[in-house]
């Protein structure tokens, strides 16, 4: 079942010749040149996937990077980005020294300063903030893989205004999963690639979870498993699907409900699974005006109750001996109540979710929906698998085999990035759970440290913010009801991004995309300093780019910037650097320490937990420092608790020292491997001074393989749960119950109905009532609901190409050759009806503005949808590109026309263009029309922006690159 360890050429195609001795050809070819002087095994950072890499160093230079054969994430393979790391590392756009703004903000005029000056400027500023009002520091960290450090730093500083880029990336995916099943797609779960027979892939996104998905798809293809993709665009993974369903954007929830409708009608749901692992049998109070309407019926100890069919009485829901009812209406202690499952049946059996009712809106024939439902049912119930492995569940019941229903699903950003994304994610999890396919053989599997309770604790800190005082927890967490919100009595948000407010109650990743507007508007309050790391907020990471650029540079009447001070750390001269007042130049990923921690997003896979490090492979040739070390030094200079010893001296010299010695709770630190003085513990244990060396010796990572009986049913597997407690993943070995019905959401509804201490402002009650539905629902995406659809008949989407997905600085010499200009892809019929042909230049117009680009007519796209590659368009003067680069002349950025706010509601309030539950940026709600541009307008993109000045001592850009010629010269000279 599980062959040898997951390393060593999992790509089955990687087979050397039977005899690899060189033949005697006599042509003088050197078939065994020396490759490198040394190989450093570290972790890639060309995207967020955390693959292991072997960096070959020759003559002090990086010669070659390949995938680490033993690494649990990529198992020897490497993606297009990973191999291009050399060009990223040697990019001419690398910053060289700390910079202090010398011209107007946004011009790119800087002077170089020494690190000491940079530290004193930052320390003086931040220290004043901390002494007066710590929340006037907003610290947002973009593509940050050190959130357990950066979040903790913010907490020690005392500001609640911290988040990374998840709010505009995938929080719907994360929250949708974590509030439903205590895990989620991508980082916290994966399909059972080795056993699944039917794989459904939802949503646009070319390459989320890059290599693991590709390795998995390769396995499915080799095995002949069926791949079904539900995606408006037929690119990348969708190209190899056996079935491509070109759904209309934003309607996936409806499609899933129609599948659920069909499955339920046909009795194709796994009742046993529902009873054992979900809250389907828990009783929900049904008393319309009661303050606890819609909450679970609980006993005196707070345990949810179910109705025992045999005893005809209420029982504790979590009772292995109970025989709970799933349907019916009951009275318990004089309260009318029904099981969750009754509510589910009532909702989804409604004819409004029948295939015929949704087909047109989804753009999918009803017969296709019925066929997919039948296929799901067939595979789940007729092709079940059983692994011959005995296991014991949480209640001590022994099972002789592990049973599985080999249907698995995965969802990507196309699901997340809509205003209805949270509920759509929940809908997909509901479908998986009804089929009994979560954490079973062939199904969707959790990656440790997940599953955790749904939602996981703890709650977000930041209710009280006091000078010189750390927060009482971490800034980001999971709310369980209105009492956990970060709002004041009047309902005003306490965070600058309005996370955990009535605007976005379940904002588990914060709302980085709202920070610039809110700070500019002083809403809910003005800030002093905006500190950011590795996030291109003045370009492709913001919606409404044109206005965002204005807000960054806008001044009040007295000539002061409305956002008074901006500190930014980046390794490259991105479009955001010129808007900073103080620039802290970061290193490349080959010059630094990092940890890919179980406290953040580790490298675990479903068969065991793991974490990893980066360590310096080469020394920087510039005056730059790793941001994490800079942050630790800043913490020490500011005297933040946790960063200084009792005598006030710095606790950690740099990030490496922190990684080894920091303990978040006793015995638990950033790395789980080789803990304890002698390095024999995992998970918990004393700091081990040799820990980093142990990691380096092991190939840059630590990984623990589960015993066979721990690999499935982790939500209820005694052996796994005990292990998880020992590791500190969870606090008690109790079963994790899937929350098909989400009580936390219902608590917000009750507040909207006037119950409880914390209630939404009057004008927002209806919004809360509607969207905080405890069961998954579908509604029209917001922009689609308000714009004139005749005027803006098309959906517009973006996705980054695989070779740039999640990549920081894809404008390197190799990757940019693959894509340096993006086209707008338009369906043939749509384009032809508009009189357009290939290569025409068109205006792409939305209610928010217009942008100009060139089109390409294609077949593989939903007819009502246009799309383009994202983040190809670049601003002139950035990223070390020449002025004639295609990126700034022909490439375009759709962000310019995506609004960052919704249209004003009846009360005049504009919300962020985000999901109303989680605050996830709704990139994909965009509606557009396309209009052929005038002849004289063709040939160049608009809007255009002023060219940035170049930082001091930037080298002139080369006319040619002969990378590798040196290696050859040295090799031939040695012969």
Partner 1 sequence: MHPAFSVVFFTTATGAGYGLLALLGVLGAAGLVSPDFWLGFVGMGLALGLISAGLLSSTGHLGRPERAWRAFSQWRSSWLSREGVASVATFIPAGLFGIGWVILGRLDSWVAAAGVLAAIGAIVTVCMTGMIYASLKPIAHWHSPYTLPGYLIFSAMSGSVLLNAVLQGFALGSNIFLAFSVPLVLLGWIWKLATWRYNDRLETATTANTATGLAGGTVRTLEWPHTEENYLLKEMGFRIARKHSAKLRRITQALAFALPILLLVAAFAFPWPLAAVLSALAAVAQFAGMLVERWLFFAEAKHTVTLYYGR
Partner 2 sequence: MTCLPTHTDKKLGLVIDLDTCVGCQACVTACKEWNTGGHMAPLTDIDPYGGHVDGVWFNRVHSYEHITEMGGRTVNFPRSCLHCEMPACVTVCPTGASYKRASDGIVLVDEDKCIGCKLCSWACPYGAREFDTDVGVMKKCTLCVDRIYNDNLAEQDRVPACVAACPTSARHFGDLGDPASAISLLVTERGGVDLMPEMGYHPTNKYLPPRAHTQRAASVPAKALEPVRAEGGFLGWVDRMLSN
Residues 704 and 608 sit within 8 Å (Cβ to Cβ): yes
CB neighbours of 287 closer than 8 A, spacing ≥ 6?
Answer: 293, 335, 336
Name which of residues 611 to 670 contact partner 1 (CB under 8 A): none
Residues 203 and 230 sit within 8 Å (Cβ to Cβ): yes
CB neighbours of 935 closer than 8 A, spacing ≥ 6?
Answer: none
Based on the shown chain and the rule CB under 8 A, indicate whether residue 855 belongs to the binding site for partner 1: no
Instruction: Give the DSSP letter string of 428-458.
Output: HHHHHHHTT-BTSTTSEEE-TT---SSS-S-
Which residue among 375, 705, 769, 942 contacts partner 2 (CB under 8 A)? 375
Identify which of 111, 20, 90, 72 has the alpha carbon closest to the alpha carbon of residue 952.
111
Based on the shown chain and the rule CB under 8 A, indicate whether residue 35 belongs to the binding site for partner 2: yes
Task: Using the Cα atoms of residue 780, residue 781, residue 782 and residue 788 in order, give the sign of their dihedral.
Answer: negative
From 260-268, 524-532, 656-664, 732-740, give the range in contact with partner 2 by CB under 8 A.
260-268
SS3 531: strand
CB neighbours of 405 closer than 8 A, spacing ≥ 6?
Answer: 270, 379, 380, 381, 384, 385, 435, 436, 437, 440, 442, 443
Site string for partner 2, 235-254 (x = CB under 8 A): xxxxxxxx-x----------
Based on the shown chain and the rule CB under 8 A, indicate whether residue 571 belongs to the binding site for partner 2: no
Q: What are phi and psi of 769, to 5 degrees?
A: -55, -45
Residues 487 and 758 sit within 8 Å (Cβ to Cβ): yes
From 682-690, 693-701, 796-804, 926-934, give the range in contact with partner 2 by CB under 8 A.
796-804
The distance of closest approach from Cβ of residue 820 to partner 1 in the complex, given in angstroms and rounded to an integer, is: 5
The distance of closest approach from Cβ of residue 476 to partner 2 in the complex, given in angstroms and rounded to an integer, is: 32
The distance of closest approach from Cβ of residue 182 to partner 1 in the complex, given in angstroms and rounded to an integer, is: 40
Which residue among 535, 597, 799, 821 contacts partner 1 (CB under 8 A)? 821
**CA dihedral defined by 269, 275, 281, 282, rounded to 10 degrees?**
-130
957 binds, among partner 2, partner 1, none (CB under 5 to 8 A by kind): partner 2
Q: How many residues bind partner 1 (CB under 8 A)?
A: 10
8 binds, among partner 1, partner 2, none (CB under 5 to 8 A by kind): partner 2
Tell me whether residue 126 or residue 225 sits nearer to partner 2 (CB atom): 225
What is the per-residue burial (b if ≥16 Cβ within 10 Å, else e) of 257-269?
bbbbbbbbeeebb
From 139-147, 296-304, 416-424, 810-818, give the range in contact with partner 2 by CB under 8 A.
810-818
The distance of closest approach from Cβ of residue 942 to partner 2 in the complex, given in angstroms and rounded to an integer, is: 17
Based on the shown chain and the rule CB under 8 A, indicate whether residue 820 belongs to the binding site for partner 2: yes
Name which of residues 237 to 296 contact partner 1 (CB under 8 A): none
Based on the shown chain and the rule CB under 8 A, indicate whether residue 373 belongs to the binding site for partner 2: yes
Based on the shown chain and the rule CB under 8 A, indicate whether residue 60 belongs to the binding site for partner 2: no
- For residue 136, CA distances in Å to 221, 519, 627, 641 come to 53, 10, 21, 19
311 binds, among partner 1, partner 2, none (CB under 5 to 8 A by kind): none
Which residue among 226, 856, 909, 932 contacts partner 1 (CB under 8 A)? 856
Residues 409 and 162 sit within 8 Å (Cβ to Cβ): no
Based on the shown chain and the rule CB under 8 A, indicate whether residue 404 belongs to the binding site for partner 2: no
Based on the shown chain and the rule CB under 8 A, indicate whether residue 932 belongs to the binding site for partner 2: no
**Could you give the CA distance from residue 614 to residue 606 in angstroms, rounded to a whole number?**
23
**Could you give the CA distance from residue 57 to residue 77 in angstroms, rounded to a whole number?**
19
β-pairing, 385-387 vs 398-399, is unpaired
The strand pairing partners of 512, in sequence order, are none
The distance of closest approach from Cβ of residue 41 to partner 2 in the complex, given in angstroms and rounded to an integer, is: 13
Which residue among 240, 818, 910, 970 contacts partner 1 (CB under 8 A)? 818
Based on the shown chain and the rule CB under 8 A, indicate whether residue 637 belongs to the binding site for partner 2: no
In this structure, how many other beta carbons lie within 10 angstroms of the beta carbon of residue 761? 14
CB neighbours of 609 closer than 8 A, spacing ≥ 6?
Answer: 447, 448, 449, 598, 602, 672, 703, 704, 727, 729
Site string for partner 2, 302-321 (x = CB under 8 A): -------x------------
Based on the shown chain and the rule CB under 8 A, indicate whether residue 963 belongs to the binding site for partner 1: no
Residues 524 and 492 sit within 8 Å (Cβ to Cβ): yes
Which residue among 1, 124, 128, 222 contacts partner 2 (CB under 8 A)? 222
Which residue among 5, 218, 756, 761 contacts partner 2 (CB under 8 A)? 218
In sequence order, what E strands does 459-564 have? 529-533
From 233-241, 248-256, 544-552, 706-714, give the range in contact with partner 2 by CB under 8 A.
233-241
Sheet with 61-67, side-by-side order of all strands = 38-43, 52-58, 61-67
Residues 199 and 379 sit within 8 Å (Cβ to Cβ): no
Tell me whether residue 143 or residue 816 sits nearer to partner 1 (CB atom): 816
The distance of closest approach from Cβ of residue 297 to partner 1 in the complex, given in angstroms and rounded to an integer, is: 57
Based on the shown chain and the rule CB under 8 A, indicate whether residue 395 belongs to the binding site for partner 2: no
From 305-313, 592-600, 813-821, 924-932, give the range in contact with partner 1 by CB under 8 A.
813-821
User: What kind and span of H or E run contains 226?
Assistant: strand 226-230
Based on the shown chain and the rule CB under 8 A, indicate whether residue 859 belongs to the binding site for partner 1: yes
CA Rg, the chain, in Å?
Answer: 28
856 binds, among partner 1, partner 2, none (CB under 5 to 8 A by kind): partner 1
968 binds, among partner 1, partner 2, none (CB under 5 to 8 A by kind): partner 2
236 binds, among partner 1, partner 2, none (CB under 5 to 8 A by kind): partner 2
Residues 858, 864, 867, CA angle at the centre, nearest 5°?
55
From 113-121, 545-553, 855-863, 945-953, give the range in contact with partner 1 by CB under 8 A.
855-863
The distance of closest approach from Cβ of residue 238 to partner 1 in the complex, given in angstroms and rounded to an integer, is: 13
Which residue among 290, 758, 834, 886 contacts partner 1 (CB under 8 A)? 886
Based on the shown chain and the rule CB under 8 A, indicate whether residue 256 belongs to the binding site for partner 2: no
The binding site for partner 1 (CB under 8 A) comprises 817-821, 856, 858-860, 886
């Amino acid at each position: 079942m599980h062959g040898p360890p997951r390393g060593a050429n999992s790509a089955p195609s990687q087979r050397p010749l039977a005899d690899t001795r060189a033949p005697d050809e006599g042509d003088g070819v050197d078939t065994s040149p020396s490759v490198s002087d040394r190989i450093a095994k570290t972790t890639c950072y060309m995207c967020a996937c955390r693959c292991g890499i072997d960096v070959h160093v020759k003559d002090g230079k990086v010669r070659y990077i390949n995938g680490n054969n033993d690494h649990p994430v990529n198992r020897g393979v490497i993606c297009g980005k990973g191999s291009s790391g050399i060009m990223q590392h040697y990019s001419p756009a690398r910053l060289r020294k700390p910079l202090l703004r010398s011209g107007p903000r946004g011009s790119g005029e800087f002077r170089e300063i020494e690190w000491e000056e940079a530290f004193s400027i930052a320390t003086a500023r931040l220290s004043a903030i901390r002494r007066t009002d710590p929340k006037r520091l907003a610290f947002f960290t973009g593509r940050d893989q050190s959130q357990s450090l950066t979040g903790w730093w913010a907490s020690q500083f005392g500001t609640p205004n911290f988040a990374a880029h998840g709010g505009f990336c995938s929080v719907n995916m994360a929250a949708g999963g974590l509030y439903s099943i205590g895990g989620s797609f991508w980082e916290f779960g994966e399909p059972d690639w080795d056993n699944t027979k039917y794989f459904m892939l939802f949503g646009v996104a070319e390459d989320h979870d890059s290599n693991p998905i590709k390795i998995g798809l390769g396995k499915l293809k080799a095995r002949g498993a069926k791949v079904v993709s539900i995606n408006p665009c037929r690119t990348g993974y969708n190209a190899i699907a056996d079935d491509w369903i070109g759904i209309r954007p934003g309607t996936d929830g409806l499609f899933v409900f129609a599948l659920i409708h069909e499955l339920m009608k046909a009795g194709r749901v796994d009742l046993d699974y529902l009873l054992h692992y979900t809250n389907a049998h828990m009783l929900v109070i049904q008393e319309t005006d009661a303050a606890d309407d819609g909450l679970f019926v609980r006993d005196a100890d707070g345990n949810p109750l179910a109705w025992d069919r045999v005893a005809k009485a209420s029982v504790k829901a979590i009772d292995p001996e109970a025989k709970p009812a799933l349907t019916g209406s009951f009275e318990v202690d004089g309260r009318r109540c029904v099981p969750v499952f009754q509510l589910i049946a009532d909702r989804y059996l409604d004819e409004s979710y029948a295939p015929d009712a949704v087909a047109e809106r989804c753009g999918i024939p009803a017969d296709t929906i019925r066929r997919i439902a039948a296929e799901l049912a067939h595979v789940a119930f007729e092709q079940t698998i059983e692994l011959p492995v005995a296991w014991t569940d949480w209640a001590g019941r022994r099972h002789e085999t592990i049973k599985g229903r080999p249907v698995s699903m995965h969802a990507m950003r196309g699901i997340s990035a809509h205003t209805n994304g949270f509920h759509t994610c929940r809908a997909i999890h509901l479908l998986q759970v009804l089929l009994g396919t979560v954490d079973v053989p062939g199904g969707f599997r959790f990656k440790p440290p997940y599953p955790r309770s749904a939602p996981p604790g703890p709650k977000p800190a930041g209710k009280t913010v006091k000078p010189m005082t750390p927060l009482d927890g971490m800034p980001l967490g999971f709310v369980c009801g209105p009492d956990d919100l970060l709002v004041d009595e009047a309902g005003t948000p306490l965070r600058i991004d309005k996370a955990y407010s009535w605007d976005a109650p379940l904002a588990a990743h914060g709302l980085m995309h709202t920070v610039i507007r809110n700070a500019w508007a002083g809403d809910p309050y003005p800030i002093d300093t905006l500190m950011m790391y590795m996030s291109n907020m003045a370009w492709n990471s913001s919606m409404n780019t044109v206005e965002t650029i204005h807000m960054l540079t806008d001044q009040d009447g007295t000539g002061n910037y409305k956002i008074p001070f901006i500190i930014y750390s980046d390794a490259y001269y991105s479009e955001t650097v010129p808007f900073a007042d103080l620039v802290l130049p970061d290193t490349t990923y080959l010059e630094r320490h990092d940890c890919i921690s179980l406290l953040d997003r580790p490298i675990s896979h479903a068969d065991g937990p793991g974490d990893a490090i980066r360590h310096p492979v080469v020394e920087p040739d510039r005056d730059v420092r790793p941001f994490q070390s800079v942050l630790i030094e800043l913490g020490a200079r500011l005297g933040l608790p946790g960063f200084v010893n009792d005598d006030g001296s710095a606790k950690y010299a740099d990030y490496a020292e922190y990684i080894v010695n920091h303990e978040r709770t006793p015995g638990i630190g950033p790395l789980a491997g080789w803990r304890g003085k002698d390095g024999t513990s995992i998970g918990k244990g004393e700091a081990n001074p040799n820990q980093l060396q142990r990691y380096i010796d092991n190939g840059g990572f630590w990984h623990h393989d589960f015993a066979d009986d721990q690999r499935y049913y982790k939500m209820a597997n005694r052996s796994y749960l005990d292990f998880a407690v020992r590791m500190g993943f969870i606090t008690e070995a109790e079963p994790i119950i899937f929350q098909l019905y989400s009580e936390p959401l219902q608590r917000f509804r009750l507040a909207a109905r006037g119950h409880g201490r914390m209630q939404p402002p009057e004008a927002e009650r209806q919004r809360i009532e509607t969207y905080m539905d405890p069961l998954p629902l579908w509604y029209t995406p917001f922009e689609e609901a308000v714009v004139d659809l005749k005027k803006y008949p098309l959906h517009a989407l973006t996705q980054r190409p695989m070779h740039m997905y999640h990549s920081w600085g894809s404008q390197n010499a190799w990757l940019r050759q693959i894509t340096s200009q993006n086209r707008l892809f338009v369906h043939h019929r749509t384009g032809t009806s508009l009189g357009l042909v290939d290569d025409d230049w068109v205006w792409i117009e939305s209610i928010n503005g217009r942008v100009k680009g060139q089109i390409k007519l294609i077949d593989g796209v939903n007819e009502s949808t246009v799309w383009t590659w994202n983040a190809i368009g670049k601003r002139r003067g950035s990223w070390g590109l020449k002025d004639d680069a295609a990126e700034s002349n022909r490439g375009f950025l759709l962000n310019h026309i995506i609004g960052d706010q919704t249209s004003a509601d009846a009360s005049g309030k504009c919300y962020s263009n985000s999901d109303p539950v989680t605050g996830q940026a709704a990139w994909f709600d965009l509606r557009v029309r396309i209009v052929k541009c005038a002849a004289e307008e063709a040939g160049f993109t608009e809007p255009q922006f002023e060219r940035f000045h170049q930082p001091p001592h930037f080298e002139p850009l080369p006319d040619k690159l002969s990378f590798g010629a040196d290696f050859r010269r040295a090799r031939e000279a040695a012969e």
